[in-house]
């Protein structure tokens, strides 16, 4: 018996990819902090220059001590270096320093530093908190500009001061809006990434569930049938009882090996990694059409007289071949469970030169279902698994009773596109 070698695509092993992503984020954050430090140095230099200019253009200029001008300049620009670490405190210090710069006539309308701080607040803070910070910043900044230009040191009419205040508010508001847009885009991208990860995880769980069902159900069905046979003929035909027990033992060992391989794959073990441990088993390659004869033999051991007919014009890729193997396995499992000993079953597989594959498993339903007296395995996932496998390759599945008696399973798998075939071959080789 074989087992498909799974690879969990929902995420990388612990300590690999997340670690790389974290280092990448740290590098990006360090780069942004360095950029902010450069911007802060430029803003400080600009305000120091403005504080040292004279009043040659006729407008009021700063006339206080040099250290006060330097202090205001540092408070306006230096917080930009840490705006991504402490957005709200940085914005508060910058707004207060900008208001002081306006009242001291160092500058009247250069609120670029405030706009840069508002951008980061909108980018990283919750919407309610960011909106409150924006409203307070707009009111304080506009009021400071209008008061400074129209009241404290008038340099023009009220309308001009109001226009300057509106321009400052527009610059700050535009920067805040840009931060919100970037945040929304990042949130959408994060939601999309989470959705794709959840879909991948769900798909992987379904795939593992299908594989485990296909691995276990066939072996357990044979064991149940043979156990029921042994129970019925234990006293009358001892030799047949011993044959049934021998089949149960062999099938049980094979099922146990399959489960060990499955658990090894789910734990991330590689082939031969734990070969020295008791009970370890190397992972076998993907089952395919060449593995159908042993499957037929096990069905015959369960009392189902089975014939296999294949017409293969071309070799199928690993993916469709695995799907056909699992479909036949589930169909034979259902024959063993529901039709029982003495049933005649025919398995026909045809593949034309284009790679168009058709699978038919029919039985006459003439057997004696010895496991139907309460010991029959309850199922329901097998047909769902077959349908999912067929839909994965864009095919069709027909399941139902035959007009003359018995049951039939018919599946059609169309040829794969070139890129899909290449992908399946690559997965099969892994």
Each residue's pLDDT tens digit in the chain (430 positions)? 333 333 333 344 333 344 434 455 556 678 888 898 898 899 888 888 877 776 555 566 667 788 888 898 899 889 999 999 999 999 999 999 988 888 887 776 678 899 999 999 999 999 899 999 999 999 998 888 888 777 777 766 787 888 888 888 899 999 999 999 999 999 999 889 888 888 877 776 776 666 676 666 666 667 776 677 677 767 777 777 777 777 777 777 766 666 666 666 555 544 444 444 444 444 455 678 888 998 888 888 878 889 999 999 898 888 888 889 889 988 888 888 787 778 899 999 999 999 899 999 999 876 655 443 333 333 345 677 788 888 888 899 999 888 888 899 999 999 876 544 433 433 443 3
DSSP assignment string, 414-426? PPPPHHHHHHHHH
The encoded tokens of residue 28 equal 């990006």
The encoded tokens of residue 184 equal 């929304």
Closest CA to 262 of 208, 194, 218, 222: 208
User: Where are the chain's structural domains?
Assistant: 17-197, 288-430
Residue 412: strand, helix, or coil: strand
**pLDDT for position 258:** 66
Classify residue 149 by burial, with Cβ atoms within 10 Å: 0-12, 13-18, 19+.
Answer: buried
The encoded tokens of residue 54 equal 């004279």
In terms of DSSP bridges, do strands 357-363 and 407-413 run parallel, antiparallel, or are they unpaired?
antiparallel
The encoded tokens of residue 214 equal 């296909």
Tell me the C-alpha distance between 40 and 32, whole Å. Answer: 12
**pLDDT for position 218:** 63
CB atoms within 10 A of CB 242: 12
Q: Tell me the per-residue pLDDT of 153-194, one tens digit each, with 9 for 90 and over.
A: 776 678 788 888 888 889 999 999 999 999 999 999 988 988
DSSP symbol at 313: S
DSSP symbol at 287: P
**pLDDT for position 322:** 85
Q: Give me the helices (H) in 104-152, please.
A: 112-124, 127-147
Tell me the C-alpha distance between 275 and 277, whole Å. Answer: 6
Sign of the torsion formed by the C-alpha atoms of 10, 14, 20 and 22: positive
Q: Helix, strand, coil: what percent of the chain each, to 5?
A: 65, 10, 25
DSSP assignment string, 194-221? HHHHHHHHHHHHHHHHHHHHHHHHHHHH
Sign of the torsion formed by the C-alpha atoms of 151, 156, 162 and 165: negative
Helix axes 17-52, 112-124, angle to 10 degrees: 160
CA 145 to chain centre: 51
Tell me the C-alpha distance between 383 and 381, whole Å. Answer: 6
Assigned CATH topology for domain 288-430: Heat Shock Protein 90 (3.30.565)
DSSP symbol at 152: I
**Cα-based angle 32, 35, 40 (whole degrees, multiple of 5):** 125
**pLDDT for position 285:** 59
**pLDDT for position 109:** 65
**pLDDT for position 162:** 84
**pLDDT for position 210:** 67
* Cα dihedral 298, 299, 305, 311 in deg (nearest 10): -90
């Amino acid at each position: 018996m074989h087992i498909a070698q799974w690879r969990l695509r929902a995420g990388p092993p612990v300590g690999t990819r997340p670690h790389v992503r974290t280092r990448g984020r740290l590098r990006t954050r360090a780069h942004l902090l360095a950029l902010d430090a450069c911007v802060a140095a430029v803003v400080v230099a600009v305000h120091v220059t403005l504080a040292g200019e004279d009043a040659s253009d006729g407008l009021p200029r700063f006339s206080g001590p040099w250290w006060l001008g330097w202090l205001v300049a540092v408070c306006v620009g230096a917080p930009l270096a840490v705006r991504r670490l402490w957005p709200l405190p940085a914005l508060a210090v910058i707004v207060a320093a900008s208001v002081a710069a306006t009242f001291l006539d160092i500058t009247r309308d250069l609120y670029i530093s405030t706009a840069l701080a508002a951008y980061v607040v909108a980018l990283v803070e919750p919407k309610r908190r960011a909106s409150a910070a924006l409203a307070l910043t707009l009111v304080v900044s506009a009021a400071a500009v209008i008061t400074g230009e129209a009241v404290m040191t008038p340099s023009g009419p009220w309308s001009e001061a109001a226009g300057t205040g509106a321009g400052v508010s527009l610059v700050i508001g535009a920067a805040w809006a840009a931060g919100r847009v970037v945040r929304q885009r990042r949130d959408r991208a994060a939601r999309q990434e989470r959705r794709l990860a959840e879909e991948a995880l769900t798909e992987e769980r379904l795939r593992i569930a299908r594989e485990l069902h296909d691995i276990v159900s066939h072996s357990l069905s044979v064991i149940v049938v043979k156990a029921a046979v042994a129970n019925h003929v234990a006293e009358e035909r001892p030799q047949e009882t011993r044959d049934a027990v021998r089949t149960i033992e062999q099938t049980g060992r094979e099922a146990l090996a399959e489960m060990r391989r499955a658990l090894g794959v789910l734990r991330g073990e590689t082939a031969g990694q734990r070969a020295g441990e008791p009970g370890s088993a190397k992972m076998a390659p993907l089952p395919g059409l060449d593995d159908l004869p042993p499957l037929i033999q096990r069905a015959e051991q369960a009392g189902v007289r089975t014939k296999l007919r294949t017409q293969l014009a071309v070799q199928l890729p690993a993916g469709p071949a695995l799907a056909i193997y699992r479909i036949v396995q589930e169909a034979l499992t259902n024959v063993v469970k529901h039709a029982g000993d003495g049933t005649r079953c025919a398995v026909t597989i045809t593949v034309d030169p284009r790679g168009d594959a058709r699978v038919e498993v029919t039985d006459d339903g003439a057997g004696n279902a010895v496991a139907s007296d309460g010991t029959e395995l309850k199922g329901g996932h097998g047909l769902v698994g077959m349908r999912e496998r067929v839909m994965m390759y864009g095919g069709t599945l027909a399941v139902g009773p035959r007009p003359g008696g018995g049951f039939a399973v018919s599946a059609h798998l169309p040829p794969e596109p070139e890129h899909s075939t290449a992908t399946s071959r690559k997965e099969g080789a892994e």
